[in-house]
Structure 1
Amino acid sequence: MRIQNNMWKAVILIGGPDKGTRFRPLSLDVPKPIFPVAGIPMIQHHIEACSKVPEIKEVNLIGFFHYTEMLKSFITMAKQKYSLSIKYLSEYGPLGTAGGLYHFRDQILSGTPEAFFVFNSDVCCNFPLSDILHFHQSKNGDNRITIVATEATHSESMSYGCLVEDENTNEATHYVEKPETFVSSLINCGVYVFTPDVLRCYMAEVFRQHQEESLEMGMGDSNFPDAIKLETEILAGYAGSGKMFVYKTKEIWGQIKSAASAIHANKLYLSVYRRTKPEVLAKKNPDGPIIRGDVFIHESASVDPTAVLGPNVTLGENVEIGAGVRVSNSIVLSGAKLNDHCCVLNTIIGWKCKVGEWSRVEGTAQQPDPNAPYSKIISGQLFNEDGRLIPSITVLGREVDVAPEIIILNSIVLPNKNIHANSKNQIIL
């Protein structure tokens, strides 16, 4: 095994405010990367995984969100909790999935890391980083990429980047982003390892070509000529070069593209907790509440002993659950109150919402694909090609007040609404 340096870094690509539109109305109140899933912000799962790998000394978040107090507080908390150097590198605009990497190359490469991980922020995974690190070190070449991949069904694969692998060498011989016809069932997981020369050499050449093209076309800085697409401009070009290798994982994996897929991610992360840190899950107690399956309850939440929770439920800070309440396959965000005998199924209840007595807030659970080789998240689209709402989960935005004895089914409710009538398959503006 070839080891050059004992220091690695990690980069999490968090995008910006013009991304995550499918995550509305939840992303209206909090940047999508720090939306809580399974009790902690989405990218805290990434950072926690990095903290368990001794070689990783620094984590950089790259995006073009304004450095708000909310983001600043999250980074301060994460630095204290995980004893890692964590920095936010703010792009001047949307630079694409690789433009930020090249723009901040000096910061990423400072200290001469042997290599660095790159994560998409919306990845849901158990992150076997030590295994990926050792796999990458076992391959030869100074300017190499390791790409983490998993198996999907034929129909699912065409929604992702598809890889063809030489199984004898683990080399990626072909890469196509979202192909129109079937290429391979092996898909890109959005987790990578790069050696420094990929930034210094290959991305530098792509950047130079961009600058030349923009000058020829007179595009100017306003059109972000620095933007580089990792999938189509880097990975597709690297495939077949003998320098890109495929690490295949059979563990859980998915993407959190929409509110619906956040429910699936919540389920998968809770199942990971059961194996890795069962102490954080609620325990069954004869004095109640009744716990079914995997349930996470924040220590500040108040739950009546007659409530029935689970499976796959997360209750956030200062949540109040009344007598006889039923919650299943749902996320209840901080400060929400579920009054006596209401029922919440397949739903995200927003911050400081109130659900009245005997009301029912429900979404339609997506059934897992029986042909899927591993447990993954369906993308969770909320709209079909005609723009109509697909029956899926129900989402209540911040501070929605649902009156008693109301039924809300498969609906999206924007923040600060008072609901006094039943709703089915609607978007309530």
Structure 2
Amino acid sequence: MKIIVPMAGRGSRLRPHTLTVPKPLIPIAGKPIVQRLVEDIAQVLDAPIDEIAFVIGKDFGLEIEEKLKQIAQNLGAKASIYIQDQPLGTGHAIMCAQDSLSGPAVIAYADTLFKADFTLDKEADSVIWVKQVENPEAYGVVKLNDKNEITDLVEKPKDKVSDLAVIGIYYFKDVNVLKDQLQLVLDEKLMRGGEYQINDGIEKMKQKGLVFKPGKVDEWMDCGNKTVTVATNKRMLNFLHQEEKEQLVSDDIILEQSTIIPPCYIGKGVKLVNTTVGPNVSIGEGCSIENSQIKNSLIQTHSNIRNAQLDEAMIGNHATFDGKFTKISIGDYSILD
């Protein structure tokens, strides 16, 4: 089994945090978004992962490539790195990894996380993972027939088609078929809004009689901007706290007259002095926090925080903050005091 991860976009809606780190590498409960994504996919598939192909932007750099290779190696998989040098859509991004498009594969966009407990229908030609939503007009949705097969993909329907939104994760029994159809999309220059879309390749597959079925997830968490990323961090911490599968608080933290209210992720070497942390807080390794109260917030690594009352805040790496703002969002190496 392969996992193909298009992730070339820098994530402009999550700035300033994505000015220095691509969005899929932003940590949620102590792990990069893309790492949590591929680990959860591997768990649902219940099959060995042979290869993970990452499609990245041309400016990501060697350090990011090495981090991605390590994520793949942690799952016992080969890492392949491909470059998408132009923002020409999902279909184009997938075709950048065409050398890896063979055999069974999952394609997953690296800005979403999920929780699911279902058996993947590996007899279907393809499975499109969906989530029931209250406002389907804001999403792309699937239409089903009485055989529980996907007959149509409808983008932001004005009239009610269904309430099953496409979350951006797809399984293909033979991804080479998608590759062939996307090549036709490129050859025909079939573009929408100046981009090549995966949906046009899927539509060509359906026209050939291939069977698409839905895979329903229990939870779908977005990481599109600061507000939803902080909310996703909160939800993920609660899931992990209930599951008790990961150690969330490092053994070597320093506590001086401080309290941790779970669920929280506290990384290695964190020092808390006269501080209350939690609930729903992630603090990366090497941070130092004094005389503060922090809840519902995400703080990355090696940052220093003093005299703060933070709620729904997001702070980057190597940042310094000493102030009265609560819902702040400051990026890497920022100083605000």
- Decide whether aligned partners of structure 1 residues 179 and 71 sit closer, same or farther in structure 2, where only a CA change above 3 A counts: same
Question: What's 2:147 paired with?
Answer: 169
Q: Structure 2 matches for 1:192-211, cutoff 5 A?
A: 192-194=170-172, 195-210=174-189
Aligned counterpart in structure 2 of residue 48 of structure 1, from 16, 22, 39: 39
Shift in Å, 1:127: 5.4
**Structure 2 residue 267 is the aligned partner of structure 1 residue 298:** yes
The alignment status of 1:119 with 2:108, answered yes or no, reads yes
Count of aligned pairs between the two proteins: 331
Cα distance, 1:242 vs. partner?
Answer: 5.8
Q: CA–CA distance in 1 between the matches of 2:81 and 2:127? A: 24
Contact 2:258–2:276 under 8 Å retained in 1: yes
Q: 1:172–1:242: 8 Å Cα contact kept in structure 2? A: no
**SS of corresponding position for 2:262:** coil
Equivalence map 1:5-404=2 (5 Å): 8-17=1-10, 20-52=11-43, 53-109=46-102, 113=103, 115-126=104-115, 128=117, 131=118, 134-139=119-124, 144-153=125-134, 155=135, 157-166=136-145, 168-194=146-172, 195-210=174-189, 228-231=196-199, 233-236=200-203, 243-249=211-217, 251-282=218-249, 289-304=258-273, 306-322=274-290, 324-339=291-306, 341-356=307-322, 359-363=323-327, 394-403=328-337
Calculate percent identity across the aligned residue pairs: 20
Question: 1:252, 1:268 within 8 Å by CA — same for their partners in 2?
Answer: no
Inter-partner Cα distance in structure 2 for 1:75 and 1:200: 23
Summarize the Cα distance change of 1:11–1:32 in structure 2 as closer, same or farther, 3 Å threshold. same
Q: SS of the residue aligned with 2:85?
A: coil
Change (3 A) 1:315 1:179: same
Q: Distance in 2 between matches of 1:294 and 1:102?
A: 41
**Would you say the 8 A contact 1:294–1:310 is kept in 2?**
yes
Pick closer, same or farther for the CA change 1:78–1:279 going to 2, 3 Å: closer
Change (3 A) 1:302 1:259: same
Answer whether contact 1:12 1:118 (CA < 8 A) is retained: yes
Superposition deviation, residue 77 in structure 1: 2.9
Report the Cα offset of residue 184 of structure 1: 2.0
AA partner of residue 292 (structure 2):
V
5+ residue gaps in structure 2?
A: none
- Cα deviation digits, residues 370-420 of structure 1 (max 9, x gap): xxxxxxxxxxxxxxxxxxxxxxxx3112233332xxxxxxxxxxxxxxxxx
Q: Distance in 2 between matches of 1:26 and 1:51?
A: 28
The one-character-per-residue Cα deviations of 1:185-229 (angstroms, maximum 9, x if unpaired) are 11001111012343254323323322xx79xxxxxxxxx99x521
- For residue 57 of structure 1, what is the amino acid of its counterpart? D
- Tell me the TM-score normalized by structure 1: 0.70
Distance 1:278 1:135, change over 3 A: closer
Matched to 2:187, the amino acid is: R
- The one-character-per-residue Cα deviations of 1:222-250 (angstroms, maximum 9, x if unpaired) are xx99x52113x23455568562111122x
Q: Deviations over 1:76-124 (max 9, x none)?
A: 4324433321121112322311223234323322xxx2x1001010011
Distance across 1 between alignment mates of 2:257 and 2:140 = 46
Gaps of 5+ in 1: 1-7, 215-223, 364-393, 404-429
Measured on the aligned residues, the alpha-carbon RMSD in Å equals 2.9
**CA distances 1:33-60 after superposition (whole Å, capped 9, x unpaired):** 1111211111011232355443321110
1:326-355 Cα shifts (integer Å, max 9, x gaps): 00110112121111x421111101222222
Which one-letter code corresponds to 2:80 in the other structure? K
Change over 3 Å in CA distance of 1:209–1:270 after alignment to 2: same
* Residue 267 of structure 1, CA deviation: 1.1
Q: Report which of the two structures shows the higher radius of gyration computed on alpha carbons.
A: 1
Deviation at 1:21, TM superposition (A): 1.3
